[in-house]
Amino acid sequence: MEGNVYDIGDTDHKFSIQSVSKVFTLAMVMQELGSQAVYDTVGVNATGRLFNSIIAIEDKVDRPSNPLVNAGAIATTSLVKGNSYDEKWNKIITTFSKFAGRDLGVDQEVYESEAATNQRNRAIAMLLDSYGRIYYDPLESVDIYTKQCAIAVDSHDLAVMAATLANGGVNPVTGVKLVEEEFLPKIFSVMATAGLYDDSGKWLYFVGLPGKSGVGGGVIAVAPGKFGIAAFSPRLDPSGNSQPDLFYAHLDVVPLPEESGDQREEDPWAGIAKDGYIWGRGVLDDKNTAKPFSKLQK
């Protein structure tokens, strides 16, 4: 990968990362503890239930199922190395910043709102604790997880973060290595099977790439060895996934045949303003509709 960046739309619009963060906490913990530890303590199977299901924990009490649903994500966050709340949090925000290639921060308003209304996640953590399936103080783990989900990003940040996974664990902009390549197929497999919750199968069928969405409107996809892509689409479907709009347009301009040269009154590539019109090849085309809030990092 060459580190090239392609922007379309308002890619500097800030929003909270929400559940997209789960992928990068998983990558952190896998890097620190290894893939077998994640399998043994959290699990990797899709639940077939809602992302915040409590029943899913009761269904399989030996592990929280996978790191991309809330129970598994809270357990994964609890596994981040550190002897205190501050040590764990500082490691998360520092690592996320390295994934993005810039210093990230927390949207304090989002964090405070979610911390005041996360009773269900607290219940999940306490239930996990009763089964010995959370690995740090349960309520502090929930608070760290809540703060993690409130990290403010834009489409640029998410694209670079996704591209870091696509680029063998190396940030293609900064050159910093964050994840060993051996762990990436396992991360991608969990993204493919559980990254979009109940709609993961539909996503994989139609898109064909490992992906992850969040209720903040962010969604990422990874083409290993090729690119990472991110979009901001704040509308949500019933499963809690971003519901992107479809933009149908093209950006190319069809070449002119050589034999048409004698028929041209103006340079077709100059965009000349004349008689109230702009004269040029493709000026009446539909390129102006190609404006999704997306960013491609390649």
Q: What is the CATH number of the domain that holds 213?
A: 3.40.710.10
pLDDT of residue 283: 64
pLDDT of residue 63: 65
148: in domain: yes
pLDDT tens-digit series, residues 64-120? 689 999 999 999 999 999 999 999 999 999 999 999 999 999 999 999 999 999 999
pLDDT of residue 197: 84
pLDDT tens-digit series, residues 148-199? 999 999 999 999 999 999 999 999 999 999 999 999 999 999 999 999 988 8
296: in domain: no
247: in domain: no
CB neighbour burial string for 209-238, b if at least 16 within 10 angstroms, e if fewer: bbbbbbbbbbbbbbebeebbbbbbbeeeee
- φ, ψ of residue 97 to 5 degrees: the values are -65, -40
pLDDT of residue 221: 95
List CB contacts of 253: < 8 A, sequence separation 6 or more.
281, 282, 285
In the chain, the percentage of residues whose pLDDT exceeds 70 is 86
Average pLDDT of every residue of the chain: 87
State whether residue 123 is helix, strand or coil: helix
295: in domain: no
254 band by pLDDT with thresholds 50, 70 and 90: low
Joined tokens for residue 156: 């640029």
pLDDT of residue 289: 47
* Cα 79 to Cα 76: distance, rounded to the nearest angstrom: 5
- Asked if 220 and 166 touch (Cβ cutoff 8 Å), the reply is no
* Cα 290 to Cα 116: distance, rounded to the nearest angstrom: 40
State whether residue 147 is helix, strand or coil: helix
**pLDDT value at 247 more than 70:** no
pLDDT of residue 131: 92
pLDDT of residue 193: 93
State whether residue 205 is helix, strand or coil: helix
pLDDT tens-digit series, residues 35-44? 999 999 999 9
139: in domain: yes
8 burial level (CB within 10 Å; 0-12, 13-18, 19+): middle
pLDDT of residue 60: 75
254: in domain: no
Residue recorded with tokens 């963060």: 21
140: in domain: yes
Instruction: Provide the domain limits for residue 191.
Output: 5-232
Domain count of the chain?
1
User: Do strands 105-106 and 211-213 pair parallel, antiparallel, or not at all (unpaired)?
Assistant: unpaired
160: in domain: yes
